[in-house]
Amino acid sequence: MRQIWLAVLYTALMLGANPAAADVAALREGDMKKLALHETPVDLPEAVFLDEADTPHPLADWRGKWVVLNFWATWCAPCRKEMPSLDRLQAAMPGLAVVPVATGRNAVEGIQRFYEEAGVTGLPILRDPKSDLARAMGVLALPVTVILNPQGQEVARLIGDAEWDSDNAKAVLAAMMSEAAGG
């Protein structure tokens, strides 16, 4: 039944349907029920992350794309469970950018070991070593995933872990992307 429903959704999206935000909310099942959709996009503070070579990368580098911004840490057990699904989401939906940001004290070697143990191969290593952005965005626990529109504004937030490569998560993200494109 779920596959039929998803097929109908994808067909509607392909035919130019423009679901309202209420329709996106109605799509949420399972882990996606934790996804809080904002009525109005929220501007974010300027942010710069460091990669594994300490090269700075401003969040603005991802403007123009839908972004799944994930705050995590190497010591976080739910993050360990969630990270492989984010890696698979990036592979399944290359039209969006999955941006994992290790928040707080996370040594590069520890992140590399974490990725290797979790089988993560398609995501960048990015760090917010002093938790500047996490604090500015009110991230109080980990993991937290924030969905950004192409203008770099927060449009949704999920606190806790989720299976980001589930059919439902991909349908919700596709509907959000389609809604914005169509309206």
Mean pLDDT of the chain: 87
pLDDT at 55 over 70: yes
Give per-residue pLDDT as tens, 110-149.
Answer: 999 999 999 999 999 999 999 999 999 999 999 999 999 9
pLDDT at 92 over 50: yes
Domain that holds residue 52: 34-162
Counting the structural domains of the chain, the total is 1
- At residue 48, what is the residue type? V
Count of CB atoms situated within 10 Å of the CB of 149? 17
Instruction: State the average pLDDT over residues 56-77.
Output: 96
Please check whether residue 87 lies inside any domain of the structure: yes
The pTM of this model reads 0.85
Please check whether residue 167 lies inside any domain of the structure: no
Please check whether residue 107 lies inside any domain of the structure: yes
Please check whether residue 175 lies inside any domain of the structure: no
- CB burial of 20-41 (b: ≥16 within 10 Å; e: otherwise) equals ebeebbebbeebbeebeeeeee
The enclosing domain of 62 has a CATH number of 3.40.30.10
